[in-house]
Chain A
Amino acid sequence: EAGVAQSPRYKIIEKRQSVAFWCNPISGHATLYWYQQILGQGPKLLIQFQNNGVVDDSQLPKDRFSAERLKGVDSTLKIQPAKLEDSAVYLCASSFAGDQPQHFGDGTRLSIL
C-alpha cells in the first residue's frame, strides 16, 4: 500500500511571498488532515477534511492560509503572504474514516527568509 505522498519536500521563500503544498492521501482514505510542526513541538492540526468538505478549520489562520480538497482526493495548502513564524514542517495525514488511525506523510519543510 502506497503511503501519503507530499511535495515538495523542501521549500525556501522570502517573507511576504506565497507558497503551496500538495498532498496525495492513501487510496480510499476519506479523511485528510494538514498539520503544522514547529521545531521542537508536536504537530498541530490546521484543517481536517472529510471527503471534500471541511470538518474543522478552527486553528487555520484564515487571513493567510487556505486549503482545498477538490474531488475528495488530493489536497493543497497555500500560504499567502508568508511570515517568518510560518517556518515549520507541514504534514499531511489521512485515515480511512474520521475515527480510524491517521497515517502521515514525510512533510514539506518550509523555511522563510
Chain B
Amino acid sequence: QKEVEQDPGPLSVPEGAIVSLNCTYSNSAFQYFMWYRQYSRKGPELLMYTYSSGNKEDGRFTAQVDKSSKYISLFIRDSQPSDSATYLCATDSYSGAGSYQLTFGKGTKLSVIP
C-alpha cells in the first residue's frame, strides 16, 4: 500500500463549480499536510499547509484534515479556468537532523471548462 493515495482523475468541471480533491494516507506519524498545484511544464507550487485536524481557508481554497480517518481534502469554490492544473497532496515526516521529507500522492488533473 502506497503511503499517500490520490485519485489521478482526470476531473473536469464547469466554471463556477465547487471542486473537491481528496487523499488518504497510511502512516499515522505524518504530521504536516500540504497541497501543491502544478501547471503543465512547471514545478509544484505550494497552495496550502496545515498541521492539525480541521479546516484552513485561504480565499477560494479550503484544506481539510481528518487525522482520525487519515483523510485530507482540498475544496475550491467558484472554480476558474486558471485553476486547471494538477493538484498534488503531500505529507511531511521527520527524516532526521531537524529535517522533514515530503511524500506525494500521484496528483489529480483538474480541468475547469469555461
Contact = CB atoms under 8 A, between A and B. Distances in A.
B43 A105 contact: yes
Given A42-B90, A42-B106, A91 B44 contact: yes
A106 B42 contact: yes
Given A40-B106, A42-B88, A106-B43, A99 B96 contact: no
A55 B44 contact: no
Contacts of A97: 98
Given A40-B106, A42-B105, A42-B106, A103 B46 contact: yes
The 10 lowest CB-CB distance pairs between A and B, nearest first, are: A98-B99, A42-B104, A104-B43, A106-B43, A104-B44, A98-B98, A55-B99, A56-B95, A55-B97, A105-B43
Interface in A63-105: 91, 93, 97-99, 101-105
Contacts of A25: none
10 contacts: A41-B106, A42-B90, A42-B106, A43-B104, A44-B104, A45-B102, A97-B98, A98-B98, A98-B100, A109-B41
A56 B101 CA distance: 9
Nearest to B107: A42
Nearest to A101: B46
The DSSP consensus for interface residues of chain B is: strand
B43 A91 contact: yes
Contact of B100 (A43, A44, A99): A99
Interface residues of B, number: 26
A13 to B, nearest CB: 19
Interface of B: 4, 6, 8, 34, 36, 41-46, 49, 88, 90, 95-102, 104-107
Nearest to A103: B46
B75 to A, nearest CB: 20
A31 interface: yes
B46 A55 contact: no
Contacts of A101: 34, 46, 49
B101 A45 contact: yes
A56 B98 CA distance: 12
B46 A102 contact: yes
